[in-house]
């Protein structure tokens, strides 16, 4: 798991400005600090109060305009499945991973006012070397995008910076294969990134470029590499040596692209979620783990009042095996807030549990690398406000 209070999404050309601030990333029990992380207002095409209203003098001095490739990358006339996304007045990069699916970053396609997906009608998809200069082909016009899928609605981005664009018809582009294993890649592995962003810290020409780097760390839901990308590359693919998509360009750790490492969303961590929307089978990519997924789903309703309706207890139909890995309990609901408590072997209470998730959002998640103890996995859904129709999915790999 990773947590960061600083952000620097690698967006495309946009009127939105960003500021830098210090942030902290946490993985497992160890802290890893990334100074001077870039932070960007989320909506690519909106100048909202949150972006322009009343910043401190210090932030005002630090503001820099987001410009719209890969740092010192080679011009890329291939990779037709790496596409240019025009989103309102902004732009990002994406990857075609299914005849009707484009993989990109969540921060490219959410409305800052609501934390929800932007209108599909605001998005167009192009392929080619430089669509912004007319050297490209539009493969999905406004109105051709059938839906925008977010793994996690709301403003949270660290560790969940992933989205899918669904088209109403095939894109007629051979899809890329993608990883199904979050433990891959490993530190030291060579990687390649492709995108339409800046080619150095200050310059952009709109061309698609390729650049290479090395994996520094794998946090499970995110991958850190040496600096490869810059502004405009957000949402683009990180490839392994076999050409599988293993990451999604998310952000950098410094206000200057060449000075900080890159952070990518780990595609393997979200492979099961992606597969829900696939319209046709694709090559699963590199999956050295050989895991077998297990999934159980529960639905119901909780209400803040009366108290008898406030809690629902859930347990898996079978014990979680000792060899289970990547165990997740995921709660989704409507716009109101519910909390999640998880415990192995017996029901959790609001004070005794193995993990809890009680943020002010409609999506909560408990995650475990392995079983804490033998037995079934139990969960408590507790209403915090209003009445919530919930869905809980419990998954693990064996």
pLDDT by residue (tens digit) across 178-211?
998 888 999 999 999 999 988 777 767 888 999 9
CB count within 10 Å of CB 143 equals 11
List phi, psi (to 5°) of 280: -155, 150
Q: Is 357 left (phi over 0), alpha (psi -120 to 50) or beta?
A: beta
Among 102-116, 126-140, 148-162, the least confident range = 148-162
- Cα separation, 51 vs 111, in Å, equals 12
- Cα separation, 114 vs 93, in Å, equals 23
With 0.85 as the threshold, say if the pTM is over it.
no
Q: Which domains are present in the chain? A: 1-287 (2.40.10.120), 293-397 (2.60.120.380)
Q: In angstroms, how far is CA 352 from the centroid of its own chain?
A: 31
pLDDT by residue (tens digit) across 215-237?
999 999 999 999 999 888 999 99
Mean pLDDT along residues 336-354: 92
pLDDT by residue (tens digit) across 267-291?
999 998 998 888 754 444 444 444 4
DSSP string for residues in 157-221? -TT---EEEEESS---SPPPPB---TT-S-TT-EEEEEESS-SSSS------EEEEEEEEEE-SS
DSSP code for 61: H
For 346, the 3-state DSSP assignment is: coil
CB 87, CB 45: distance < 8 Å: yes
Place of tokens 């390649």: 192
């Amino acid at each position: 798991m990773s947590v960061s209070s600083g952000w620097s999404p690698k967006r495309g050309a946009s009127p939105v400005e960003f500021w830098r601030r210090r942030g902290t990333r946490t993985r497992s029990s160890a802290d890893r600090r990334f100074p001077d992380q870039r932070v960007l207002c989320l909506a690519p095409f909106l100048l909202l109060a949150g972006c322009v209203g009343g910043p401190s003098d210090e932030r005002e001095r630090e503001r820099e305009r987001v410009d719209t490739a890969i740092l010192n990358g080679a011009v890329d006339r291939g990779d037709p499945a790496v596409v240019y996304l025009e989103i309102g007045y902004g732009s990002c990069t994406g990857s075609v991973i299914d005849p009707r699916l484009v993989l990109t970053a969540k921060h490219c396609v959410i409305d800052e006012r609501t934390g929800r997906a932007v209108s599909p009608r605001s998005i167009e998809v192009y392929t080619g070397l430089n669509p912004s200069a007319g050297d490209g082909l539009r493969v999905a016009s406004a109105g051709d995008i059938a839906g925008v899928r977010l793994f996690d609605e709301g403003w949270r981005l660290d560790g969940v910076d992933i989205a899918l664009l669904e088209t109403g018809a095939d894109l007629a582009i051979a899809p890329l294969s993608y990883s199904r294993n979050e433990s891959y890649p490993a530190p030291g592995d060579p990687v390649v990134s492709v995108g339409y962003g800046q080619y150095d810290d200050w310059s952009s020409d709109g061309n698609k470029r390729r650049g290479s780097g090395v994996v520094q760390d794998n946090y499970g839901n995110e991958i850190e590499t040496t600096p490869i990308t810059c502004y405009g590359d957000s949402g683009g693919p990180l490839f392994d040596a076999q050409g599988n998509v293993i990451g999604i360009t998310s952000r950098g750790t410094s206000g200057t692209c060449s000075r900080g490492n890159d952070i990518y969303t780990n595609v393997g961590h979200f492979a099961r979620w992606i597969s829900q929307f696939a319209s046709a089978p694709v090559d699963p990519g590199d999956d050295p783990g050989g895991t077998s997924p297990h999934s159980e789903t529960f639905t119901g309703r909780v209400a803040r009042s009366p108290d008898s309706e406030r809690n629902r207890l859930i347990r898996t139909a079978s014990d979680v095996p000792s060899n289970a890995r990547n165990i997740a309990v995921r709660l989704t609901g409507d716009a109101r807030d519910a909390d999640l408590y998880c415990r192995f072997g017996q029901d959790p209470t609001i004070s005794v549990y193995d993990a809890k998730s009680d943020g002010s959002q409609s999506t909560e998640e408990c995650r475990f690398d392995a079983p804490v103890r033998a037995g079934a996995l139990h969960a408590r859904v507790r209403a915090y406000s209003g009445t919530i129709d919930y869905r809980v999915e419990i998954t693990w790999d064996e």
